[in-house]
């Protein structure tokens, strides 16, 4: 009996070692490319470093300074303004596109391709295109608003509308997440809709009582991804406005970039990025925690 138990323990140990061997590439990559850079960034954030020479240890002075920097708080406000507006809008746009892709028409594959193509375009190219489309003098968007007798809007030059222009760029990537919503739509059992039809439910009732509740796991995924990317929004603001006008599009990632590469304050920028990492992690944890109240994993 003891010999059999010893053999069982030895087999379990070998299986454990074999499993660890198989996941070792991921484990090494996790610690090498995630844990180590994060820890090093927090360490760098406690130094006075310009990118040249040796970092000088100053403790928490960078964090004390940024909490008294009004531009930092402006960047935080702009970033959360963008996230709160762009992420829910992106969810809505993605669901609408997924429903359109799910229509049973002969040209469905062509429509899906056309709706997906903008999401694979480089953000730089989309930003340059939006500069032309939103031009207050000859832009296509203001031209269309003219048919509604709406005065031309200086989207990129007016602080009241500049963040909305950046939000508009984000919606061009909705086609990619729409494919995930499309897969979720196809996973919903058809007998649920058949039963609802027998009960006299219309399309709108079916959407609210069947489709939307069963899409909540995908919505959770979209929100987590959207918040993570939204807190790091950089390229559209850098290309289209460079943080202006009046710092209305000075997002936190752009604030970090300017401090690190324009002002030579790498240590200070590392402190800001470390704080942004903590904010991102906190929002993700809170989102996962709240999901138990609104995400439905039961498709019966």
* Domains by residue range for the chain, with CATH: 84-248 (1.10.3720.10)
Grouped pLDDT means (10 residues each) for the chain, 300 residues = 56 83 91 90 93 89 92 96 95 92 79 81 86 86 84 88 90 87 90 88 89 93 93 93 93 96 93 94 94 82
pLDDT of residue 153: 86
pLDDT of residue 299: 63
222/218 Cα distance (integer angstroms): 6
pLDDT of residue 135: 86
């Amino acid at each position: 009996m003891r010999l059999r138990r010893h053999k069982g323990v030895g087999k379990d140990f070998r299986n454990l070692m074999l499993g660890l061997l198989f996941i070792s590439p991921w484990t090494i990559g996790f610690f090498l490319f995630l844990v180590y850079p994060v820890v090093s960034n927090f360490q760098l954030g406690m130094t006075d470093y310009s990118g040249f020479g040796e970092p000088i240890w100053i403790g928490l002075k960078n964090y004390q300074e940024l909490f008294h920097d009004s531009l930092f708080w402006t960047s935080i406000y702009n970033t959360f303004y963008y996230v709160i507006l762009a992420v829910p809008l992106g969810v809505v746009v993605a669901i609408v596109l997924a429903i359109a892709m799910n229509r049973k028409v002969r040209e469905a594959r062509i429509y899906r391709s056309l709706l997906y193509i903008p999401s694979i375009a480089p953000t730089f190219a989309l930003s340059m295109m939006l500069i032309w489309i939103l031009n207050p003098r000859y832009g296509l968007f203001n031209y269309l608003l003219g048919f509604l007798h709406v005065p031309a809007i200086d989207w990129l030059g007016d602080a009241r509308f500049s963040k909305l222009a950046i939000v508009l760029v984000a919606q061009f990537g909705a086609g990619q997440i729409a494919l995930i919503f499309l897969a979720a739509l196809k996973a919903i059992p058809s007998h649920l809709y058949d039963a609802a039809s027998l009960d006299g439910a219309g399309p709108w009732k079916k959407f609210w009582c069947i489709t939307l509740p069963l899409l909540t796991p995908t919505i959770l995924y979209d929100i987590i991804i959207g918040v993570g990317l939204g807190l790091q929004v950089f390229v559209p603001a850098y290309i289209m406005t460079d943080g202006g006008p009046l710092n209305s599009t000075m997002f936190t990632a752009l604030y970090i970039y300017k401090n690190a590469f324009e002002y030579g304050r790498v240590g200070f920028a590392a402190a800001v990025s470390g704080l942004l990492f903590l904010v991102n992690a906190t929002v993700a944890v809170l989102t996962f925690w709240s999901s138990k109240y609104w995400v439905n994993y039961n498709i019966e």
